[in-house]
Amino acid sequence: MNTVYNFGGPKSDGAAHDDPRQKDKTVTGGKGANLAEMAGIGLPVPPGFTITTEESVRYLNEGEAFSDKLRADVAAALTHIERAVGKNFGDPADPMLVSVRSGARVSMPGMMDTVLNLGLNDATVAGLADISGDARFAWDSYRRFIQMYSDVVLGLDHGLFEEAMEIAKEDRGYFTDTELSAEDLQELVGQYKSIVEEERGAPFPQDVHEQLWGAIAAVFESWDADRAKVYRRLNNIPGDWGTAVNVQAMVFGNMGETSATGVAFTRDPSTGERSYYGEWLVNAQGEDVVAGIRTPQYLTKARRVAAGADLPSMEEAMPAAYEELARVFDLLELHYKDMQDIEFTVERGKLWMLQTRSGKRTAKAALKMAVDMAGEGLIDEETAILRVDPMALDQLLHPTLDPDAPRDILAKGLPASPGAASGKIVLDADTAELWAGREEAVILVRVETSPEDIHGMHAAKGILTARGGMTSHAAVVARGMGRPCVSGASAVSINLVNRTLRIGDRELQEGDIITLDGAKGEIMAGQVPTIEPALDGDFGVLMEWADKHRRMGVRTNAETPADCRTARGFGAEGIGLCRTEHMFFDAGRISAVRAMILADDETGRRTALARLLPEQRGDFGEIFRTMAGLPCTIRLLDPPLHEFMPTRDEEFADLANDLGVAVDHLKRRADELHEFNPMLGHRGCRLGITFPEIYEMQARAIFEAACDVTAEGGDAVVPEVMIPLVATRKELEILRKLVDRAAEQVFTEKGARVEYLVGTMIELPRAALMAGEIAHEAKFFSFGTNDLTQTALGVSRDDAGRFLGPYVEQGIYARDPFVSLDIDGVGQLVEIAAERGRATTPEIKLGICGEHGGDPESIAFCEKVGLDYVSASPYRVPIARLAAAQAAL
Ligand code: PEP
Ligand code: MG
């Protein structure tokens, strides 16, 4: 099995790219596979080789040692590059230099390490100066190499080198790096080498092979760096993938005014618009563009003009190279049939491609590109549906800033990631995480972000940076996470000592509230009001396609008319779960609920229930009207009664007054009702069995409302009455009969009938196992996977937050089982119940109403089991529609 794959250069050199393993990202990583692919379609790729991910896993598992085979294969591959470029590694006369970069299966922007200009030493730097005819360039490259290598491979603080550089400039009265002459840089290299020797206790390595192996080891090891681990956890990337290493002949964007470097997207990654989009810098190396040290220039003339920028675009300054680049963009889109994110370098007028990958994009852009590309015939409708991550839709479904609200604009930066966010200013990532943990909305404000800030960026509602362009770390990561971001806001200056912030002439403090508009790049003081998003255009088109391709229905979990309306607007096809207990908390009725609970006997309870009946009838009537004939599953009272119990003395006093009884008496009743384990206590259908009058009242309210609304002449209402927490057939039999009796009574009184169904939740393991029996009494099952997870795992859903984090980190569960269904375990119970239920009643309707009904992976499982519908909270309805379509394809 190859440990190394060559790419670029003459085919006779084993770089034919016809081994399928070479194009397999699991073997050669995303970057390596795409470099091979680009070279294969004839694009200009500097020759190089990829060390497989398997080798990095082996290296990390086997005590950080290289195998003999790897050493031999790398030596041969180096020869491949040498032959292709006609230079030799370490040759003092005309040295070949290489870059060493990581490349995992999926891109982890900025998370792992890169070393450029490797192969320079005291001897080869002179050769490079001679051959290039540019001594300044050679010494600048050597300086950069020492700094990068020392940071990445030797683990020295890069601040030491930056400081030396600053002093060198100050001593000479310079403002910019470019003012440093060849001699200045040569002197600086001397200082850099002294720093290395002092800090490391050994000189900077001069042997180019030692340099190379040091860099390879560092890239392998960067897989296990803390920031990479955090990124993997946030993005559900397994820890055992490892990273490939790409060693590639250097091309130089810093060889003077005919050289340049840049990053680009074939379409706009923020809006999805079909126009080239990117940034470049003349006479610079790749890192300069993303690091935000120099402000990059626009790629196209149109964008430069639109932004009112002075420095010429690449289109204007280097028309030939730009034209070639545009040709490559089109070729790449045709080849990959997707928007590409590209790194390129122009060396003395010649264009070289250094990387391509599927570009990260905002939800809005993902939608637009999917719909546009299907329209252009680049992809088909099914592919378009599969292109959009359902969870990303979340970004679009939330409110945006009200365009008519006044804005107190503090400053403008670059519109790096769209969306609106308001929150308290925090000045570092740890504070962001801490405050967010206290449920506070925070905006992370930094000079620029680095991979070390990733946890704070995740915790924040929005990100603001003083430096950096549209492709800066902050911008790329924020777009990937769906966080609004304004970058490069140069009016922002941060004082970390006083924890204050100056924006223009305004002084702000950590903790003050600001608002960001990531689509416009605006920073505003205070909180700006928001409005609901309009879901038309591309969103509507994609949803229509999704609806055409999905098999499962999508309902919503909702109980208020407002939520029902939101969900209908999002395309819900009915209610899958109306939690009636939520209606009991209303200020006007909680005292009746408490009176019912604390009543001494049935008569007392009935008196209280009589007060609740008209309220419940009103609730259901409104829901039926809002849902206009769509199916509505209404669950009878479920939670433990203590949840409604008064706790404060005033509450007891009020209630005692209301009922005309003594406070002490009420408190005693409350004590009697105390439970040790309420989640497994007197709740669910157990309430209906012991206090049938409660369920009778609710059933009556449902049928009276259904008859009334049907009589109003709208669409016929078909209520689905759902009994919670059933474990045995007998429980359901008793309660089904109770509901049937209530229905008949109402129908007789009203002289009218409505159709209805009685069914149950399957949320206890026993119910799942006994589903064949229970199905005799049920017209439908709805999987309550919240409780089913709690009871199957023996993990309290209310306490899990305290310990599930480490469980997921250690891979005990791949994801939080309350968020994404534990398919292996709980999934089996669902499968068994579906199968046994259908064996008894083939036409039984099956749905899911636990939180998992809005989780794409769980939805894919529901499709596999053949459920009839999923039910999700209103804002998750579109996510569920898309996920259901993807699952069906
Ligand atoms: C469930 O248990 O999955 C469910 C939907 O019910 P609740 O969350 O109300 O317990
Ligand atoms: Mg439940």
Closest listed residue to residue 755, CA positions, set 783, 775, 779, 781: 779
Burial class (CB in 10 A: 0-12, 13-18, 19+), 191: middle
Query: What pLDDT is recorded for position 566?
Result: 86
Residue 370 lies in a domain: no
Q: Which residues pair with 500 in a beta bridge?
A: 495, 509
Distance (angstroms) between ligand 2 centre and the Cα of 313 equals 60
417 with 362: CB under 8 angstroms?
yes
Residue 745 is encoded by which pair of tokens? 């009574």
Residue 215 is encoded by which pair of tokens? 């860099």
- Backbone phi and psi for residue 405, each to the nearest 5 degrees, phi listed first: -75, 145
* Residue of 556, 577, 585, 762 best suited for mutating to test ligand 1, as the one with most atoms within 8 Å of CB: 577
786 has binding-site annotation: yes
Query: What pLDDT is recorded for position 17?
Result: 59
474 with 465: CB under 8 angstroms?
yes
Residue 700 is encoded by which pair of tokens? 């009556």
The residue whose CA has the least distance to atom 6 of ligand 1 is 784
Domain end (from 674, 695, 721): 674
Separation CA 817–CA 823 (nearest Å): 9
CA distances from 271 to 268, 296, 517, 729 (A): 6, 20, 14, 55
515 has binding-site annotation: no
Q: What is the pTM of this model?
A: 0.80
Q: What is the count of structural domains for the chain?
A: 6
List Cβ neighbours of 50 (8 Å cut-off, separation of 6 or more).
Answer: 4, 5, 7, 22, 28, 29, 31, 32, 35, 36, 103, 244, 245, 246, 247
Burial class (CB in 10 A: 0-12, 13-18, 19+), 745: middle
Closest listed residue to residue 617, CA positions, set 502, 705, 725, 516: 705
Q: What is the CATH classification number for the domain harbouring 51?
A: 3.30.1490.20
Q: Specify whether 351 is located in the same domain as 445.
A: no
Residue 255 lies in a domain: no
Q: Specify whether 437 is located in the same domain as 323.
A: no
State the closest ligand 1 atom to the C-alpha of 579, by its place in the atom list counted from 1: 9
Range 647-672 burial, b when 16+ CB lie within 10 A, else e: eeeeebeebbeebebeeeebeeebee
Q: What is the pLDDT of residues 605-617, one digit of tens each?
A: 999 999 999 999 9
376 has binding-site annotation: no
Domain end (from 198, 220, 250): 250
Q: Which residues pair with 485 in a beta bridge?
A: 417, 463
Closest listed residue to residue 536, CA positions, set 364, 339, 374: 364
The residue whose CA has the least distance to atom 9 of ligand 1 is 579
Residue 377 lies in a domain: no
* Residue of 578, 579, 819, 869 best suited for mutating to test ligand 1, as the one with most atoms within 8 Å of CB: 579
Q: Specify whether 731 is located in the same domain as 854.
A: yes
438 has binding-site annotation: no
In this structure, the strands spanning 4-7 and 48-51 are: antiparallel
3 has binding-site annotation: no
CA distances from 227 to 108, 114, 232, 456 (A): 10, 15, 9, 12
Q: CB atoms < 10 A from the CB of 199, how many?
A: 14
Catalytic-labelled residue, pool 17, 473, 485, 632: 473
Distance (angstroms) between ligand 1 centre and the Cα of 785 equals 7
Closest listed residue to residue 445, CA positions, set 511, 361, 520: 511
Query: Under the phi-then-psi rule, with left for phi > 0, alpha for psi from -120 to 50, and beta for the rest, what region is 295?
Result: beta
Q: Specify whether 59 is located in the same domain as 156.
A: no
Question: Residue 818: nearest ligand to its CA?
Answer: 1
| DSSP classification of residue 295 | P
Query: What pLDDT is recorded for position 681?
Result: 92
Distance (angstroms) between ligand 2 centre and the Cα of 585 equals 18
Closest listed residue to residue 631, CA positions, set 737, 757, 741: 757
Q: Specify whether 312 is located in the same domain as 179.
A: no
State the closest ligand 1 atom to the C-alpha of 557, by its place in the atom list counted from 1: 5
The range of the structural domain enclosing residue 527 comes to: 399-531
Residue 685 is encoded by which pair of tokens? 């259908």
List Cβ neighbours of 843 (8 Å cut-off, separation of 6 or more).
Answer: none
Separation CA 481–CA 109 (nearest Å): 12
Q: Specify whether 215 is located in the same domain as 176.
A: no
Catalytic-labelled residue, pool 685, 849, 852, 862: 849
Residue 372 lies in a domain: no
Distance (angstroms) between ligand 2 centre and the Cα of 819 equals 14
Any residues with Cβ below 6 Å from ligand 1, and which?
A: 577, 579, 638, 763, 784-787, 849-850
Residue 392 lies in a domain: no
DSSP string for residues in 99-162: EEEEEESS--TTTS-EEEEET--TTHHHHHHHHHT-HHHHHHHHHHHHHHHHHHTS---HHHHH
The residue whose CA has the least distance to atom 1 of ligand 1 is 784
271 has binding-site annotation: no
| DSSP classification of residue 715 | S
Q: Which residues of the chain have pLDDT under 50?
A: 12, 14
Query: What pLDDT is recorded for position 483?
Result: 85
Distance (angstroms) between ligand 2 centre and the Cα of 763 equals 6
Q: What is the CATH classification number for the domain harbouring 347?
A: 3.30.470.20
Q: What is the CATH classification number for the domain harbouring 684?
A: 3.20.20.60
Query: What pLDDT is recorded for position 825?
Result: 97
Residue 407 lies in a domain: yes
In this structure, the strands spanning 442-446 and 462-465 are: parallel
Query: What pLDDT is recorded for position 826?
Result: 98
813 with 844: CB under 8 angstroms?
no
Residue 381 lies in a domain: no
Longest Cα–Cα distance in the chain? 104
Q: Specify whether 686 is located in the same domain as 748.
A: yes
Q: Specify whether 759 is located in the same domain as 831.
A: yes
Question: Residue 788: nearest ligand to its CA?
Answer: 1
- Backbone phi and psi for residue 417, each to the nearest 5 degrees, phi listed first: -155, 125
In this structure, the strands spanning 522-525 and 409-412 are: antiparallel
Q: What is the CATH classification number for the domain harbouring 138?
A: 1.20.80.30
Query: What pLDDT is recorded for position 418?
Result: 78
Q: Specify whether 234 is located in the same domain as 266.
A: no
177 with 285: CB under 8 angstroms?
no
The amino acid that residue 320 corresponds to is A
Residue 564 known to be catalytic? no
Distance (angstroms) between ligand 1 centre and the Cα of 348 equals 65
Separation CA 572–CA 559 (nearest Å): 13
Q: Specify whether 10 is located in the same domain as 100.
A: yes
Residue 458 known to be catalytic? no
Q: Specify whether 34 is located in the same domain as 163.
A: no
Whose tokens are 């049928």? That residue is 703
Separation CA 547–CA 571 (nearest Å): 10
Q: What is the CATH classification number for the domain harbouring 485?
A: 3.50.30.10
Closest listed residue to residue 813, CA positions, set 236, 426, 287: 236
Give the per-residue SS3 of 162-188: HHHHHHHHHHHCCCCHHHCCHHHHHHH
The residue whose CA has the least distance to atom 3 of ligand 1 is 784
Closest listed residue to residue 605, CA positions, set 723, 696, 702, 740: 696
* Residue of 582, 761, 830 best suited for mutating to test ligand 1, as the one with most atoms within 8 Å of CB: 761
Residue 390 lies in a domain: no
Closest listed residue to residue 572, CA positions, set 783, 878, 862: 878
Q: Specify whether 738 is located in the same domain as 793.
A: yes
Domain end (from 310, 334, 361): 361
